Amino acid sequence: MSLSTRKLLPVVAALSIIAVVAPADAAERREGGKLLLTGGMSSIEGAAGGGLATWAVIAGDETEDGTGGTAHATYVALPDFDLASAGAAIGISDLVELSYAYQRFDTRAAGAALGLGRGFTFGQHVLGAKLRVIGDAVWDQDTLLPQIAVGAQYKIAEHGNIIRAVGGRDYKGVDFYVAATKVWLPASMVFNATVRFTKANQFGLLGFGGDKQPGRTAQVEGSAGKLLARNLLVGVEYRMKPNNLNFARETDSYDLFAAWAIQRHLSITAAYADLGAIATVEKQRGLFMSLQGGF
């Protein structure tokens, strides 16, 4: 991604939100592959799941017999800011996922008002690892047990001096999470609940911990989607966020989305997203677009 991202067309589309399966019979299992969309989309932090929430599913089309992966480009257009994310994930034996994403947050004209300079950008690297612990979100239809995974995301934000100036404790930190995902085939629905233990400010772009709350707190992420056709899913996500900094109130985020599988290896998602208050600026609501390719 170029350092002049704000002058380029967005790293394509934002909020890759929910991806799930259509009601299907066993004939839809490909040799060595999953059912359509059951590896999820790419979150803004690179892990498989929804656009805002991380799910228990493992990235890629692989089953327990193979290795798969995804690559994504996401863009979020807000009234006063732009957020872009690009990255990739690999899934091994439908058991382990490794992911990477780079996020770039453009302050546009608001940067001048904040004393940073017009068009000032924050960046962040996110390295992720996820392990499926128990269950299968799709094929365990005879039980209420969801697929459960645990994971961690190591985040390294840029501009540590500015982060400390606004009250952040550190420019790097680790989020830990437990996620549970269940696909209900008879109703063509998917549900996810994640508990994230984090001290990240604005997903980590403004550092970790603050002068109001220095340590990790438990935050909940939830997703629900309904498949209207084999390749079209609509739904909603909600993500709680901590409020660690005195200088700027941070509020929760949500989105309303539509995810379309153009074909097995290519998906696009559009969403209306509300990221709440960001760096003293309220009502940051806009369009998320995301493009994902996978194998």
Q: Is residue 19 part of a domain?
A: yes
Question: Which of 91, 22, 101 lies closest to 61, judged by CA?
Answer: 91
pLDDT at 35: 72
Specify if 1 maps to a domain.
no
**pLDDT tens digit string along 155-196?**
999 999 999 998 999 999 999 999 999 999 899 999 999 999
Q: Is the pTM of this model over 0.75?
A: yes
CATH number at residue 199: 2.40.160.40
d(CA 274, CA 256): 9
Cα–Cα distance list, 95 to 1, 39, 71, 242, 292 (Å): 30, 12, 18, 30, 21
Task: State pLDDT tens for residues 236-247.
Answer: 999 999 999 998
What distance in Å separates the CA atoms of residue 21 and residue 17, rounded to the nearest whole number? 14
State both tokens at 128: 């992720």
- Which pLDDT belongs to residue 280? 85
CA-wise closest residue to 103 among 14, 228, 234, 194: 14
Phi and psi torsions of 242, nearest 5°: -70, 165
pLDDT at 27: 38
Residue 135 counted as domain residue? yes
198's tokens = 């984090």
H runs (alpha helix) in the chain: 110-113, 160-165
Closest CA to 54 of 235, 222, 253, 243: 222
**Would you state the torsion angle of the CA atoms of residues 3, 170, 248, 288, taken in this order, to the nearest 10 degrees?**
40
- Residue 37 is assigned to a structural domain of this protein: yes
Task: Say if 4 falls within a structural domain.
Answer: no
pLDDT, position 47: 96
- Is 50 contained in some domain? yes
pLDDT, one tens digit for every residue, the chain (295 residues)? 444 444 333 333 333 333 333 333 333 444 447 777 677 789 999 999 989 999 999 998 877 878 989 999 999 999 999 999 999 999 999 999 999 999 999 988 887 777 788 889 999 999 999 999 999 998 899 888 999 999 999 999 999 999 999 899 999 999 999 999 999 989 999 999 999 999 999 999 999 999 999 999 999 999 999 989 888 999 999 999 999 999 889 999 999 999 999 988 899 999 999 999 998 888 899 999 999 998 8
Give residue 236's domain range: 10-294
**Nearest alpha carbon to residue 39 among 86, 102, 97:** 97
Number of separate domains in the chain: 1
